[in-house]
């Protein structure tokens, strides 16, 4: 579904991603871990189409299409969803209105009829129970005055509503207490299926106790330096990222 | 800011720029006492009306000679040649139309094209319309139905003929002929407009509206609106306006006077969409308008809501004189300036009575090279014990070539008054745009959505039909979310 080869990305003249290779198939959940500043969020943003970065090399194919040539909205309509690390506030635009505009933009692209207010509300209520979200949030401006947990639940709600093929979760666990984390993880797990792939970006292995990935990749200094299964996360939890960084500095080939 | 999104939003065509090919009867350009006599004669006006016009003209002439055209506003334009303007132009007709069946089909077609059907079968339910075409009112709908309740809704000319006692009592009582340069000019040459009187205790069951259309070339439009809400009555009034696309600037200098007696309420809404000029700033309407309401009686309320998207230059300060104790004044405004448009707009809230209350919500949006100025005065007089004002002025900038300016003036002469002012300036952020686009919403729709969110406090004050139009004007597809 997603094929990334030697992806190189710079921002303000500084190279952030220095040759990423990654293959993701339908139904798989890949976790990307790494220390702060390793380029995890940059990868998420570039895949979603943020224009502030300069692509200096490599290619990304999504369902056989050249992803890097697509606008952010076309990527979203073709099924790429990014759960933001810091969801954005839009004053005066209610959550329900925002979501309906998004759902209908995507439905239109897929050749489906736009949902009217009643059908939309029905669908919304069904999906809200997935993330145990309060209905009163629907009429409030999106993300404005939401708590950290509410913002992240709102992201997962949007994911559920937009039914993506590839979901990228950027540090969805950051700033969540354990109860909120469980709710969010349950929401995500409820959306796992054989058609849908996910990239879960996290700093901590904690989240991976609840969302169990098929593969784990460790990103250090703009490169994937180690890949493995769930064992790798536990090892990282014990030894810290410095373990890998030391191995790299020692010039040893990294293997797990 | 994605320039692509901006371009899309701001390059929308002005859809109302067509010209109606109709035989017009116009007087020669220029302004002098003969012209004023001629206008009065055309309208078959009584002596007192002509006298008032002449007084106004002489006052205006003095101002013009002493070069007293106001220059304090933050707008710039070459000098206007007042001798080059045609002050009266009307579609040719033998007599004024007696019923809609007699209105020239070309005029009906024009209004239909503008989305304001006047023919009986297609009337907008719940909205009575007075259609003003250049210098004259060409049709007024639902007149009879309103008359059953004692509500008078007719053209200004008809009011002068049929209800002289009301016109004489209130004309100039809120905006005197010598109020300012443009009000004086209007008082001298005004050719028509709408008149409304709602009798005691009557709640007007439908929206009253006037649709102003400028059609003729080189013509100025000078209309007057006078609305009187008698004790305990309520009326909601809307106005809309459009003009053809032309390279020359045209002057529109209107006066609106509102009078609310004890316990009466007037809600006045405007969607101003005069031709704004082209992308290079060529052409467009100069919209120099004096609008003022007087809360004359106790517990009365006047509420102005305006959405200003058109005109090359807007100079306009819908104001409230809060004379009656406990009276309330409100001003809700969205002003958009794009390309080379300039707007200097705001309000004056004059607190005279005790416990008077005013609210000002102003939203300025600047794009392209647009310059947007909020100018407002809150004046609390000595006797206005317990007066309260809340003002909020927000500016949204799109791109880096436009400007937003805020000039709030405060004069407080009573220590028991409470006055609050808040102001903010913001930009549409890349983050907001990207967030929307990541959800599949096009850049263009995202900008519209963010802008309409910014304006929400004002839009929700508009009657539903107008809220829809206002959102569309700002490039928004509505999907039923206003309010």
Burial B430-450 (b: 16+ CB within 10 A, else e): eebbbbbbbbbbbbbbbbbbb
Mean pLDDT, all residues of chain A: 91
Q: How many CB atoms lie within 10 A of CB A193?
A: 9
Taking CB atoms and an 8 Å limit, are B453 and A92 in contact across chains?
A: yes
Does residue A254 belong to any structural domain of this protein? no
End-to-end CA distance of chain A: 26
In whole angstroms, what is the distance from residue A104 CA to residue A226 CA?
A: 40
Mutation target vs B (from A87, A94, A105; most B CBs, 10 A cutoff): A105
CB contact under 8 A, A101 and B457: no
Suggest the residue from B396, B439, B448, B482 to mutate for an interface test with chain A (most A CBs closer than 10 A): B439
pLDDT winner (highest mean) among B19-33, B372-386, B436-450: B372-386
Which residue in this structure is represented by tokens 């890349």? B430
Q: What is the pLDDT of residue B476?
A: 32
pLDDT at B398 over 90: no
Q: Which H helix or E strand runs over A209?
A: none
CB contact under 8 A, B438 and A82: yes
Decide if B431 and A88 are in contact by the 8 Å CB cutoff.
Answer: yes
Residue of B365, B438, B455, B482 best to disrupt the A interface, most CBs of A under 10 A? B438
A164 to chain B: closest CA residue: B439
Residue A244 is given by DSSP the state: H
Distance from CA of B112 to the nearest CA of A (A): 29
- Closest residue of chain A to B440, computed from CA coordinates: A73
**pLDDT above 60: residue B25:** yes
Q: Which two tokens stand for residue B37?
A: 């006599």
Tokens of B14: 């002005």
The model's confidence at residue B93, banded by pLDDT at 50, 70 and 90, is low
Cα–Cα distance, B219 to A228 (Å, whole number):
79
Choice between B251 and A2, residue whose per-residue pLDDT is larger: A2
Whether the predicted pLDDT of B45 surpasses 80: yes
Domain-located, residue A165 = yes
- Find the CB nearest A94 among B431, B443, B481: B481
- pLDDT computed for residue A256 by the predictor: 45
Name the residue among B2, B454, B479 with its Cβ closest to that of A101: B479
Check residue B6 and give its pLDDT: 46
Structural domain boundaries, residue A210: 2-249
For A109-147, write each residue's pLDDT tens digit. Answer: 999 999 988 899 899 999 998 888 888 888 899 999 999
CB contact under 8 A, B443 and A48: no
Residue B217, pLDDT score: 75
CATH assignment at residue A117 = 3.40.50.300
* Residues B435, A84: C-beta atoms closer than 8 Å: yes
Residues of A in contact with B365 (CB under 8 A): none
pLDDT category of residue A194 using cuts at 50, 70 and 90: very high
Q: Which two tokens stand for residue B197?
A: 């009187």
Contact status, residue A223 vs residue A6, Cβ threshold 8 Å: no
Domain assignment present for A77: yes
In sequence order, what are the residues at sequence separation of 6 or more whose Cβ sits closer than 8 angstroms to the Cβ of residue A52? Answer: A11, A45, B430
pLDDT digits (tens, 9 = 90+) for B459-470: 888 877 667 667
Going by pLDDT thresholds of 50, 70 and 90, the confidence category of residue B480 is very low
More confident residue, B212 or A9: A9
Asked if residue A97 belongs to a domain, the reply is: yes
The DSSP letter of residue A252 is P
Task: Say which range, A84-98, A141-155, A229-243, B16-30, has the weakest mean pLDDT.
Answer: B16-30
Cβ atoms of B201 and B232 closer than 8 Å: yes
> Are residues A43 and A17 in contact, defined by beta-carbon separation less than 8 angstroms?
yes
Closest CA to B458 of B352, B310, B308, B318: B308
Instruction: Tell me, yes or no, whether A256 lies in a domain.
Output: no
- Predicted confidence (pLDDT) per residue in B298-307, tens digit: 999 999 999 8
CB B25 within 8 A of CB B457: no
Identify the closest residue of chain B to A47 by CA–CA distance.
B438
State how far the Cα of A2 lies from the Cα of A75, in Å rounded to an integer. 12
> What b/e string do you get for B261-276 counting C-beta neighbours within 10 Å, with b at 16 or more?
bbbbbbbbbbbbbbbb
Inter-chain contact A93–B452, Cβ cutoff 8 Å? yes
**pLDDT at position B20, please?**
79
Q: How confident is the model at residue B122 (pLDDT cuts 50, 70, 90)?
A: low
User: What would the mean pLDDT of B176-202 be, rounded to a whole number?
Assistant: 94
Side-chain half-sphere CA neighbours of B73 within 13 A = 23
Mean pLDDT of B127-152: 80
Give A51-88 pLDDT, tens digit per residue: 989 999 999 999 999 999 999 999 999 999 999 999 99
Mark yes or no for CB contact B456/A92 under 8 Å: yes
pLDDT in tens, A210-229: 999 999 999 999 999 999 99
Minimal C-alpha gap between A73 and chain B (Å): 4
**List of chain B residues whose C-beta atoms are within 8 Å of the C-beta of residue A102:** 436, 439-441
- C-alpha distance from B2 to closest chain A C-alpha (Å): 9
pLDDT beyond 70 at A254: no
Residue B222's CB is within 10 A of a number of other CB atoms, namely 25
Q: Which residues of A touch B (CB under 8 A)?
A: 48-52, 71-73, 75-77, 81-82, 84, 87-94, 96-98, 100-102, 104-106, 109, 117, 141, 158, 162
Taking the C-alpha atoms of residue B383 and residue B389, their distance in angstroms, rounded to an integer, is 15
Strands lying side by side in the sheet with B127-133? B136-140, B127-133, B207-213, B234-242, B265-272, B301-308, B328-337, B357-366, B388-397, B418-427
Using CB atoms and an 8 Å cut-off, which of residues 421-440 of chain B contact chain A? 429-432, 434-440
What pLDDT does A251 receive? 56
Listed residue (B236, B227, B225) closest to B290, CA to CA: B225
**pLDDT at B14 (0 to 100):** 72
Positive or negative torsion for Cα B112, B114, B117, B119: negative
pLDDT confidence of residue B374: 94
pLDDT tier for residue B99 given thresholds of 50, 70 and 90: low
**Chain position carrying tokens 């008698």:** B230
Three-state SS string over chain B comes to CCHHHHHHHHCCCCCCCCCCCCCEEECCCCCCHHHHHHHHHHCCCCHHHHHHHHHHHHHHHHHHHCCCCCCCCCCCCCCCCHHHCECCEEECCCCCCCCHHHCCHHHHHHHHHCCCCCCHHHCCCCEEEEEEECCEEEEECCHHHHHCCCCEEEEHHHHHHHCHHHHHHHCCCCCCCCCCHHHHHHHHHCCECEEEEECCCCECCCEEEEEEECCCCCECECEEEEEEECCCCEEEEEEEEECCCCCCEEEECCEEEEEECCCCEEEEEEEECCCCCCCCCCCEEEEEEEEEEEECCCCCEEEEEEEECCCCEEEECCEEEECCCCCEEEEEEEEEECCCCEEEEEEEEEECCCCCEEEEEEEEEECCCCEEEEEEEEEECCCCCCCEEEEEEEEEECCCCCEEEEEEEEEECCCCCEEEEEEEEEECCHHHHHHHHHCCCCHHHHHHHHHHHHCHHHHCCCCHHHHHHHHHHCCCCCCCCCC
Q: Which of residues 262-321 of B touch A (CB under 8 A)?
A: none
Contacts across the A-B interface (CB distance below 8 Å): 89
B431 to chain A: closest CA residue: A88
At residue B322, does pLDDT exceed 50? yes
Residue A50: list chain B partners with CB under 8 A. 434
- Rounded-to-integer distance, Cα B231 and Cα B201, Å: 6
Mutation target among B440, B461, B467, B471 for the A interface, most CBs of A within 10 A: B440
- Taking all residues of chain B, what is their mean pLDDT, rounded to a whole number? 86
Whether the predicted pLDDT of B479 surpasses 50: no
Subunit contact B2:A81, Cβ cutoff 8 A: no
Question: Confidence class of residue B120 from pLDDT cuts 50, 70 and 90?
Answer: low
Looking at chain B from residue 354 to 393, which residues have their Cβ under 8 Å from any Cβ of chain A? none
How many domains is chain A built from?
Answer: 1
The most confident of the ranges A129-138, A146-155, B12-21 is A146-155
Integer Cα distance of B242 and B308 in angstroms? 12
Q: What is the pLDDT of residue B464?
A: 72
Least confident piece of the model among A132-141, B13-22, B354-363: B13-22
Q: Which residue has the higher pLDDT, A154 or B478?
A: A154
Note the pLDDT of residue B119.
65
> What is the predicted pLDDT for the residue at B380?
97
Mean pLDDT of A224-247: 86
Is residue A255 in a domain? no
A89, A101, A106 ranked by CB distance to B445: nearest: A101
Inter-chain residue contact B440 with A50, CB threshold 8 Å: no
The CA-based angle A61-A65-A71, given to 5 degrees, is: 100
H or E element that contains A75: helix A72-77
Which residues have a Cβ under 8 Å from the Cβ of B134 and sit 6 or more positions away? B24, B89, B90, B91, B213, B214, B215, B216, B219, B221
Q: Test B449 with A76 for CB contact under 8 angstroms.
A: no
Go through B195-218 and write b for each residue having 16 or more CB atoms within 10 A of its CB, e for each that does not. bbbbbeebebebbbbbbbbbbbee
Among A8-12, B110-114, B121-125, the range of highest mean pLDDT: A8-12
Using DSSP, how many helices (H) and how many strands (E) does chain A show? 8, 10
Question: Is A102 close to B439, i.e. CB distance below 8 A?
Answer: yes
Token representation of residue B277: 């000029």
Q: Work out the percent of chain A whose per-residue pLDDT is above 70.
A: 97
Cβ neighbours of B432 in A, within 8 Å: 88-90
Q: Which of B430, B434, B440 sits opposite A106 (nearest CB)?
A: B440
A235-239, B323-327, B435-439: least confident range? A235-239
B452 vs chain A: nearest CA distance in angstroms? 8
Shortest Cα distance, chain A CAs vs residue B456, angstroms: 6
């Amino acid at each position: 579904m997603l094929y990334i080869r030697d992806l190189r990305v710079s921002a303000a003249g500084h190279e952030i991603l220095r040759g990423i290779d990654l293959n993701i198939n339908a139904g798989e959940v890949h976790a990307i871990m790494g220390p702060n500043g390793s380029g995890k969020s940059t990868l998420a943003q570039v895949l979603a189409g943020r224009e502030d970065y300069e692509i200096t090399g490599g290619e990304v194919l999504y369902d056989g299409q050249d992803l890097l040539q697509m606008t952010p909205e076309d990527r979203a309509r073709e099924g790429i969803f990014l759960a933001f690390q810091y969801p954005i506030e839009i004053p005066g635009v209610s959550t329900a209105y925002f979501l309906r505009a998004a759902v209908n933009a995507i439905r239109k692209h897929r050749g489906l009829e736009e949902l009217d207010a009643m059908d939309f509300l029905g669908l919304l209520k069904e999906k809200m129970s997935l993330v145990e979200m309060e209905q009163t949030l629907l009429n409030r401006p999106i993300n404005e005055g939401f708590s950290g947990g509410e913002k992240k639940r709102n992201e997962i709600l949007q994911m559920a509503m937009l039914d993506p093929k590839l979901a990228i979760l950027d540090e969805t666990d950051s700033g969540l207490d354990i109860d909120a984390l469980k709710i969010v993880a349950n929401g995500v797990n409820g959306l796992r299926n054989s058609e849908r792939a996910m990239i879960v970006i996290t700093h901590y292995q904690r989240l991976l106790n609840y969302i169990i990935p098929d593969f784990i990749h460790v990103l250090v200094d703009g490169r994937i330096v180690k890949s493995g299964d769930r064992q790798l996360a536990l090892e990282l939890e014990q030894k810290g990222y410095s373990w890998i960084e030391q191995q790299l500095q020692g010039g040893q080939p990294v293997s797990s | 800011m994605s320039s692509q999104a901006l371009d899309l939003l701001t390059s929308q065509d002005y859809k109302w720029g067509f010209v109606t090919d109709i035989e017009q009867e116009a007087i020669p350009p220029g302004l002098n006492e003969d012209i004023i006599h001629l206008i009065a004669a055309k309208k078959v006006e009584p002596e007192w009306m002509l006298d008032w016009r002449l007084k106004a003209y002489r006052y205006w002439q003095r101002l013009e000679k002493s070069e007293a055209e106001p220059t304090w506003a933050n707008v710039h334009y070459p000098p206007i040649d007042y001798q080059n303007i045609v002050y009266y132009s009307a579609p040719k007709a033998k007599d004024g139309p007696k019923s809609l069946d007699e209105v020239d089909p070309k005029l009906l077609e024009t209004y239909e094209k503008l989305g304001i059907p006047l023919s009986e079968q297609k009337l907008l339910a719940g909205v009575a319309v007075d259609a003003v075409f250049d210098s004259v009112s060409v049709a007024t709908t639902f007149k009879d139905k309103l008359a059953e309740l004692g509500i008078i809704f007719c053209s200004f000319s008809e009011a002068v003929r049929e209800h002289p006692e009301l016109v004489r009592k209130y004309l100039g009582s809120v905006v005197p002929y010598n109020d300012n340069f443009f009000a004086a000019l209007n008082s001298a040459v005004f050719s028509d407009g709408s008149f409304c009187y709602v009798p005691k205790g009557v709640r007007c069951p439908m929206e009253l509206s006037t649709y102003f259309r400028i059609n003729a070339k080189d013509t100025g439009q000078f209309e007057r609106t006078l609305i009187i809400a008698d004790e305990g009555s309520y009326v909601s009034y809307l106005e809309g306006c459009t003009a053809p696309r032309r390279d020359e600037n045209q002057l529109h200098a209107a006066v609106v006077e509102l009078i609310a007696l004890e316990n009466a309420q007037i809600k006045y809404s405007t969607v101003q969409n005069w031709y704004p000029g082209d992308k290079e700033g060529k052409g467009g309407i100069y919209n120099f308008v004096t609008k003022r309401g007087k809360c004359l009686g106790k517990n009365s309320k006047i509420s102005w809501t305006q959405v200003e998207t058109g005109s090359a230059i807007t100079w306009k300060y819908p104001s409230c004189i809060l004379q009656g104790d406990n009276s309330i004044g409100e001003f809700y405004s969205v002003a958009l300036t794009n390309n080379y448009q300039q707007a200097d707009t705001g309000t004056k809230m004059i607190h005279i009575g005790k416990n008077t209350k005013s609210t000002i919500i102003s939203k300025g949006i600047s794009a392209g090279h647009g310059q947007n100025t909020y100018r407002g005065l809150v004046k609390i007089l000595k006797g206005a014990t317990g007066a309260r004002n809340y003002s909020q002025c927000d500016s949204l900038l799109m791109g880096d070539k436009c400007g937003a300016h805020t000039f709030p003036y405060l004069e407080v002469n009573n220590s028991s008054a409470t006055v609050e002012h808040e102001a903010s300036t913001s930009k549409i952020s890349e983050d907001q745009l990207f967030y929307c686009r990541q959800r599949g919403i096009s850049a263009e729709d995202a900008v519209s959505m963010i802008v309409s969110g910014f304006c929400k406090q004002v839009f929700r004050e508009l009657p539903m039909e107008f809220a829809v139009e206002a959102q569309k004007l700002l490039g928004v597809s509505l999907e039923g979310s206003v309010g």
